[in-house]
Structure 1
Amino acid sequence: MTDTLRSTTRPSTHMHALVGRVLEASQDPRYVARKEMWTRHNRLDKTSKTPVYVCLKRGSGTNANPVTWSELIPFEQRLSKDRLEREIELQLRQKLYKHDNIPDDEVMSTTVWVGAVRAAADGEAKDVASGRIGSSFDVDHVDGAASGPLWGLPFVETRIGGPGGAYAVQPAVVEDSDLDRLHWPPFQIDEAATRELCERAEEIVGGRLPVKVATDAVGYSPTETMISLMGMEAMLFGVIDRPEFMHRIMDFVTEGTVQYQLARQAAGGVDYEQSWNYRVPYEDLPADADPHRLSSCWPLVAAQSMCGISPTLYEEFVQPYHARLTQHLGQDRVYYHGCEDLTEKIPSILKLPNLRRLHISPWTDLERAAELVGRDFVMEVVPHPETIYSQTPAEMRAWLERAMDIAGDLVIDLVLGEIETVMGKPGVLSTWAQIAQEVAEERA
């Protein structure tokens, strides 16, 4: 496929049509009620029913469910040749696919996202820093590998199997002295190049859709940064054999994360809509809230790479650093994500400042979680991956009914997530969403 860097000054015919369809779809009355529902729900207020959400990450990057989207929107349906136009075309088609095919409670946003062009850090080659011009990226996720140079040392991974395959970290931090080679990540944006990128994006959509810049290159999960620097094996041994070293690196990456996010805010780089990521479909901010402050954002905090440590070790090596971080973040808007079994760690997690949402994976004991969480937080209840690979509609319904029965009058949403493939059967997403809506209505 021909790969150009420049778009024409007039949107192509297929892009003009896609923009029109998105504008028309976004006016559907269903979204008015959904906006109110999600806003009330995440404030712990009663809603007419339990929200249902099929979570498909957006964009074209390695973390954005590339296999799944290739099944839902085959490559032969994507018509653009220009790199940036291809990215925007995919975002628009992703919006329309959800609107047309999946009866969940997502709210369609008309916003088109482009990745900020990062200015070169000291000693960094310019071509590395400018590599995001027109290239693919994850709308909802930080690209961990790309953020490595910001810390002074690269995040090096050995990957096999292509998109969705396995990988292993090649440690950059091994000895104590390696920590001295790190530095806090600077918030550096190439303003001119980013402005050029936005202008090109606006040309592509004909000035008819809002274009925003995704600026967060670090995220809010210091343990995952630590793992990217030293590797899983070294961490597992380190919490036993090198506790002082582990506290030193966790202190460093946590403070670096805090300072980066505060600098991003000071530079005007924060936009609360970007922070909705792929778990908060919408929020109407209070009239006195500033959408460009961290306090208005929904930071996703996770420590999934620490799933192998005990609750006691979690309390020592993770919880204090998460608490330090979240005190600076979204006012009652922190979302804790964890695909692992969090059952015995929930008592610690619930102490986080500003916590509001908690991911309850199929490996976490839902009954125990319900007892611990009560109505003080939102539980995001997620079924087992087998749901879309092997369950019959009757089995899907049985699981959903059981989850609703356990939750009772607690504040939950039903979320189908971590969808790495639909095994060539895209209709399964629609089936699950429809059944979940029926169960939610029956239990309303």
Structure 2
Amino acid sequence: MISKMERQLIRDLASRVKELAKDPVMTERKESWYQHNDLKSTKPLLLVFPEGGWREVITPEMLVCEDEQAREMEWMLRARLYRAENINDDSVVENSWEVSKIITDTGWGLRKPGEGTAPVGNVFQVDSTIGYCPMVWTKGFSFNEKAMPFHPLIQDASDLKKIKAPVVSYDETATKQRFEIQQEILGDILNVKLVGKKYIIFNLMEMYTDLRGLQNVMYDLYEEPEMTHEAMSIFEEGFRNVIRQYQEMNLLELNNDFSYNGTGGVGYTRDLPQDENGAKSLKNLWALAESQEFTNVSPAMHEEFVMQYERRLLEPFGLAAYGCCEPLENKLDYVFQAPNMRRISVSPWANIELCAERIGKRAVYSWKPNPSYFINDYNEEFLERYVTEMLKATRDNCVEIILKDTHTCQKDPGRYRKWTDLCRRCMERV
């Protein structure tokens, strides 16, 4: 049970969020994002998603609350405040508080829900405002920095029949209890809203390599191509089935706002919704697909073995984002076959000049600087050259700088502010 002291602490933090939301700069930033995502502005925008680094920014020891729900609320509010007051990127502080519906599923049949392997050794939560964040608020939190054993569960084509489409569940009773508690604490300070699924991602190859093994999948492209196609067909239909369940259970939510978008970005756009059916219509929503496991696969094979399946999943949605860490400069002809493509990830290993030329103003140029440059020596002279070169190459693009995948900041949280200040200097210069 949330104590009187915990309740007051949470309310005090929320009041600070409310005051930040009133700052005129937030209105300016919001309009900049609308212009940016609607491809009407070439003004560079800047976002920072510490991700794993959050565990060194707001540590478990900093939390005062003991109740599990109160700790999560405290952590989330502190994170929003830290990002606005200390990191000072172009994120928008809204006078809102979202309570997510408690939605789970059964997984893909070969592994128990929540059972981790090497790719998912640390559990992250996707929050609308913070993006991916480790669940620092949980009692006994620890971050596994060591390698984990990996054992492929799909040994041959006969094992594909073990893959089962996830069955979605919604705990309405627990959700109602959670909402009522948070509404009672925050309702007179922030706009408390119950929300469903806002982040929609189709990561077919991540799912498959998690079960088959990346090396095995690479060999399969030559030795067992039909097996790979069969697997992708199963995942395509499985994802389609999950979306259908979300629709039937009224679990989807509009994401044309401050919501985390793609593999870094926010969803503000006036091009959605496209009809009056709200979140019941996929045409009113953003969705994402990515296949970073195919970084070293040729454009033609990328299209044949995964992108064609992803594109069919993306087509019903109003707007689409594509990519994560995979360089896409030579694959953009296939990416743009999706007519709703709006945000494209330009990875740290992509050719920034070719991407600038080939993306143009057809989509948001979502640049991901190499996080290792930030994490390691943090050489400001080098970083200024690095950022400046990118900005010069993208003068005519709708470009955003998205720092993410910083799973440590070397216990130096102030480094994030140094980064945003550095980027702003480069923007002014260019």
Q: Do the structures match in fold with TM over 0.5? A: yes
Q: Secondary structure at the match of 1:356?
A: strand
Structure-1 residue corresponding to 2:371:
385
Greater Cα shift, 309-318 or 345-354? 345-354
- Paired letter, 1:261: I
Mapping of residues 188-227 of structure 1, within 5 Å: 188-205=169-186, 208-209=189-190, 210-215=192-197, 219-227=201-209
Aligned mates of 2:227, 2:203 — CA distance in 1: 19
Distance 1:9 1:195 in 2: 21
| Aligned CA distance change for structure 1 residues 284 and 196 (closer, same or farther; 3 Å) | same
State the TM-score, normalizing by the size of structure 2.
0.84
Distance 1:119 1:105, change over 3 A: closer
Q: Of 41, 44, 49, which aligns to 2:39?
A: 44
Structure 1 residues 361-413: Cα deviation after superposition (integer angstroms, max 9, x where no partner) = 12101111122212211111122223323233232221221111111212211
Q: For residue 345 of structure 1, what is the aligned residue in structure 2?
A: 331
The partner residue of 1:269 within 226, 245, 251 is 251
- Sort the Cα spacing of 1:438 and 1:43 in 2 relative to 1 into closer, same or farther, 3 A: same
Distance 1:215 1:235 in 2: 30
Counterparts in 2 of 1:117 and 1:373: CA distance versus 1, 3 Å: closer
Alpha-carbon distance between aligned partners in 1 of 2:417 and 2:46, rounded to the nearest angstrom: 12
1:98-155 Cα deviation digits (max 9, x unpaired): 111012111123323446143779999x9989xxxxx984326799xxxxxxxxxxxx
Q: CA deviation at 1:219?
A: 3.1
Match of 1:29 in 2: 24
Residue in structure 2 matched with residue 399 of structure 1 by the alignment: 386
Q: Please tell me whether the aligned partners of residues 298 and 334 of structure 1 are also in contact (alpha carbons under 8 angstroms).
A: yes
Q: What residue is the counterpart of 1:184 in the other structure?
A: 165
Per the alignment, residue 314 of structure 1 pairs with 302
State the partner residue of 2:120. none
Report the Cα distance in structure 2 between the residues aligned to 1:224 and 1:352, rounded to whole angstroms: 20
Distance 2:406 2:61 in 1: 22
Aligned pairs for 1:36-435 within 5 A? 36-46=31-41, 49-57=43-51, 65=52, 68-109=53-94, 110-114=96-100, 116-118=102-104, 137-139=125-127, 162-205=143-186, 208-209=189-190, 210-215=192-197, 219-273=201-255, 276=261, 279-285=264-270, 289=275, 291-292=278-279, 293-329=281-317, 331=318, 333-388=319-374, 389-435=376-422
Rounded to whole Å, the distance in 2 between the matches of 1:71 and 1:31 is 26
Task: Quickly say closer, same or farther: Cα 1:349–1:278, change in 2 above 3 A.
Answer: closer
Tell me the equivalent position of 1:153. none
| AA matched with 1:235 | V
Rounded to whole Å, the distance in 2 between the matches of 1:308 and 1:287 is 36
Greater displacement, 223-232 / 95-104: 223-232
1:356: Cα distance to partner? Answer: 0.8
Local SS of the residue matching 2:322: strand
User: Aligned in 2, Cα 1:382/1:277: closer, same or farther, shift over 3 Å?
Assistant: closer
* 2: CA distance, partners of 1:379 / 1:421: 26
SS in 2 for 1:432: helix
Q: Aligned pair in 2 of structure 1 residues 276, 358: CA closer, same or farther (>3 Å)?
A: closer
Shift of 1:315: 1.9
Q: Is the 1:84–1:201 Cα contact (8 Å) retained in structure 2?
A: no
Partners of 2:386 and 2:84 in 1: CA distance? 25
Describe the superposition over 1:325-379 as per-residue Cα deviations: whole angstroms up to 9, x where unpaired. 11022x2x21112213333323322323411111111210111112221221111
Unaligned runs of 5+ in 2: 116-122, 134-141
Partners of 1:56 and 1:256 lie apart in 2 by 32
Percent of residue pairs identical? 25
The aligned amino acid for 1:400 is V
Alignment CA distance shift 1:217-1:351 (3 Å): closer
> Do the aligned partners of residues 78 and 339 (structure 1) sit closer, same or farther apart at CA in structure 2, a change above 3 Å counting?
same
Change (3 A) 1:416 1:338: same
CA gap 1:360/1:164 in 2 versus in 1, 3 angstroms: farther
SS in 1 for 2:201: coil
| Separation (CA, whole Å) in 2 of partners of 1:21 and 1:54 | 21
Conservation of the 8 A alpha-carbon contact between 2:288 and 2:314: no
Q: Which amino acid aligns with 1:38?
A: W
Secondary structure in 2 aligned to 1:19? helix
Q: How many residues align?
A: 404
Q: 1:291 to 1:437 in 2, by over 3 A?
A: farther
Is residue 35–residue 282 contact of structure 1 (8 Å, CA) maintained in 2?
no
TM-score (norm 1): 0.81
Q: Is the 8 A contact 2:368 2:404 kept in 1?
A: yes
The answer to whether the 8 Å contact 1:71/1:424 transfers is yes
> Equivalents in 1 of 2:241, 2:5: separation in Å?
41
Task: Confirm or deny: 8 A CA contact 2:6 2:70 kept in the other structure.
Answer: no
Q: CA deviation at 1:217?
A: 9.1
Could you tell me how far 1:288 is from its partner in structure 2? Answer: 5.6
Question: Once structures 1 and 2 are overlaid, which stretch shifts more, 96-105 or 310-319?
Answer: 310-319
Closer/same/farther in 2, CA of residues 207 and 266 from structure 1, 3 Å limit: farther
Structure 1: give runs of 5+ residues left out of the alignment.
Answer: 1-5, 58-64, 130-134, 144-160
